[in-house]
């Protein structure tokens, strides 16, 4: 369901003339793609994965491809300059990151002072969003932590203590290049941060910041929210139309709790706070088609001849994006035939829940 919504929102963003006029430059969009939605833990996990891959390849290369090791990367008594160079680069990276964090703290303090004098607290929120200040600081601190730890190369040290290490310095050079590339990306994001700060302190440029925020954050968020709700509540008509002529003999309901008397077919227990994030409609459609066919073949003409409220009903009574904790019914049935075990299993996994840390 979310995939279809994202496609519709993306097509609208590409065709809407007003939104296209407010589109930020290509470099800004690339920075957004790299930083928006990333947290401190995300940066660390990505780097840890890269580091472990390098250590694994070094282990395999040292054990099975020792003859293929680049000669220039072997450490011996006559080749100490490479290790000293790698260590020196790490020190330079630490210095650069500390300087970047100092610049960011000064800029944020300046903007906060201006906002207090001009009573522009709402604009400050836009500034934090457009300048990516939180994301840039998280990336800089993550790189600073990584470089400080990698001054002693703990993963490679463990590899040597296990007796599987080599004198190969090639992969340390690879990780050093990763550090330098990460710093370069942080500096580009810092340049965007500084330019946004300069624009923000000028009152005439704040309107442009508001337009970009509205066009590329507020409007997509509102469209996504409304389309998801509309698609979820109207899924009953869509699935009924794809179930063939038998669909007129049953009823479907999404996002409504019609109350008792009903039989709970599928329920789940949540120990933490979660919310319904996405729905696999194709899976539900498969279950609905099987269930409607069995209802028709079960010789229940009296239910079809009664009013609409007496037809067999499958009610998916989970509300979209509502925080939940405890035991909740996902699917209820009124009349008709019971669901099979495989159908209950599919329905339980057709509804995708996401952990909700706070009430958003």
Shared domain for 85 and 160, answered yes or no, is: yes
Tokens of 87: 């260590």
- Mark which of 156, 179, 201 sits at the end of a domain: 201
Q: Give residue 292's domain range.
A: 234-355
Same domain, 46 and 182: yes
Vertex 35, ends 353 and 91: CA angle to 5°?
125
**Among candidates 318, 337, 332, 317, which has minimal Cα distance to 249?**
337
Query: Is residue 227 included in any domain, yes or no?
Result: no
Quick one: pLDDT at residue 117?
Answer: 60
pTM for the model stands at 0.68
What is the distance, to the nearest Å, from the Cα of residue 339 to the centroid of all Cα atoms in its chain? 34
| pLDDT, position 242 | 61
Instruction: Give me the number of domains the chain comprises.
Output: 2
pLDDT for res 30? 86
H or E element, residue 14: helix 2-15
Residue 12 lies inside a defined structural domain of this protein: no
Do 175 and 150 touch, CB atoms closer than 8 A?
yes
* Same domain (yes/no): 46, 172: yes
Residue 30 included in any domain: no
Query: Do 193 and 51 belong to one domain?
Result: yes
**Which tokens go with 147?**
């470089």
Residue 68: the pLDDT is: 58
Instruction: Kindly state whether residues 187 and 238 are assigned to the same domain.
Output: no
Statement to judge: residues 263 and 180 lie in one domain: no
Q: What is the DSSP letter of 341?
A: H
- 284 with 136, same domain: the answer is no
Judge whether 353 and 270 are in contact, CB under 8 Å.
yes
Whether residues 136 and 280 share a domain: the answer is no
If asked whether residues 256 and 346 sit together in one domain, one would say yes
Domain annotation covers residue 181:
yes
| One domain, residues 262 and 181 | no
92 assigned to some structural domain:
yes
Given 201, 221, 242, the domain boundary residue is 201
Average pLDDT across each block of 10 residues of the chain; the chain has 360 residues. List them in order: 88 85 81 85 91 83 63 50 73 78 72 62 75 86 87 78 68 85 89 81 76 85 89 81 59 76 84 89 89 76 53 85 87 86 91 74
Are residue 180 and residue 46 in the same domain, yes or no?
yes
214 with 13: CB under 8 angstroms? no
Same domain, 169 and 278: no
């Amino acid at each position: 369901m979310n995939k279809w919504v994202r496609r519709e929102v993306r097509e609208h963003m590409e065709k809407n003339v007003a939104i296209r006029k407010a589109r930020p430059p290509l470099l800004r969009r690339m920075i957004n793609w790299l930083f928006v939605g990333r947290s401190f833990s995300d940066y660390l996990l990505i780097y840890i994965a890269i580091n472990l891959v390098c250590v694994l390849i070094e282990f395999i290369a040292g054990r099975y491809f020792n003859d293929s090791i680049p000669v220039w990367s072997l450490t011996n008594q006559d080749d100490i300059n490479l290790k000293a160079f790698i260590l020196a680069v790490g020190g330079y990276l630490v210095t650069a990151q500390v300087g970047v964090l100092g610049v960011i703290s000064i800029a944020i303090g300046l903007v906060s002072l201006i906002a207090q004098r001009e009573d522009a607290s709402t604009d400050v929120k836009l500034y934090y969003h457009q300048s990516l200040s939180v994301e840039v600081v998280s990336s800089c601190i993550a790189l600073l932590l990584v470089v400080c730890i990698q001054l002693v190369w703990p993963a490679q040290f463990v590899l040597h203590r296990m007796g599987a290490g080599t004198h190969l310095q090639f992969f340390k050079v690879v990780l050093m290049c990763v550090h330098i590339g990460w710093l370069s990306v942080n500096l580009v994001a810092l340049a965007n941060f500084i330019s946004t700060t300069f624009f923000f302190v000028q009152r005439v440029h704040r309107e442009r910041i508001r337009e970009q925020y509205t066009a590329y954050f507020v409007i997509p968020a509102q469209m996504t929210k409304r389309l998801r709700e509309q698609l979820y509540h109207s899924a009953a008509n869509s699935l009924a139309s794809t179930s063939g002529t038998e669909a007129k003999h049953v009823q479907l309901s999404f996002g409504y709790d019609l109350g008792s008397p009903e039989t709970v077919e599928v329920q789940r227990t949540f120990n933490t706070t979660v919310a319904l994030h996405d729905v696999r409609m194709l899976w539900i459609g498969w279950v609905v088609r099987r269930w409607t066919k069995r209802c028709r073949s079960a010789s229940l003409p009296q239910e079809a001849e009664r009013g609409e409220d007496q037809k067999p009903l499958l009610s998916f009574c989970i509300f979209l994006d509502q925080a939940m904790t405890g035991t909740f019914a996902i699917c209820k049935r009124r009349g008709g035939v019971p669901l099979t075990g495989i159908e209950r299993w599919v329905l339980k996994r057709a509804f995708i829940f996401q952990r909700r840390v706070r009430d958003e």
